[in-house]
Amino acid sequence: MKAISIRQPWAWLILNGKDTENRDWYTSYRGPIAIHAAKGMTLAEYDDAVAFVRTFDSALAKRIPMPDALVRGAVIGRSELVACTRYSSSKWFQGKYGLVLVNTVPCEPVYVKGALGLWEWKDGQ
């Protein structure tokens, strides 16, 4: 299965309704994808994400766990990557490219080293 590493709290947000993951690269891949919460996260990144979400959904922003409660360095869910677009009306799209995700479901954390880009992951790796 393909996987993508996403910094927190963005990975948590994907499990809680974020339908587009922004990247500056294109992929032709379509299909199942594991959501990996990257190990790295600064407090500034966390604060910026919460502030962004607060601009359109204050209730969701309040639900984002505190930094020390966010799982990092693990696969935390699965999704279906159905498109890679340069234009979107999604409130989450901040383009250059938007990876459109549907049917996202959480899973128990599986701690594994992440990687850049899309990478191969075997469940239980």
Domain ranges of the chain: 2-120
Please give the model's pTM, rounded to 2 decimal places. 0.93
The CATH class of the 2-120 domain is mainly beta
Task: List, for residues 9-57, the tens digit of each pLDDT value.
Answer: 999 999 999 999 999 999 999 999 999 999 999 999 999 999 999 999 9
Q: What is the mean pLDDT of residues 67-81?
A: 97
Query: What per-residue string of b and e applies to 50-76 under the rule 16 or more CB within 10 Å gives b?
Result: bebbeeeeeeebeebeebeebbbbbbb
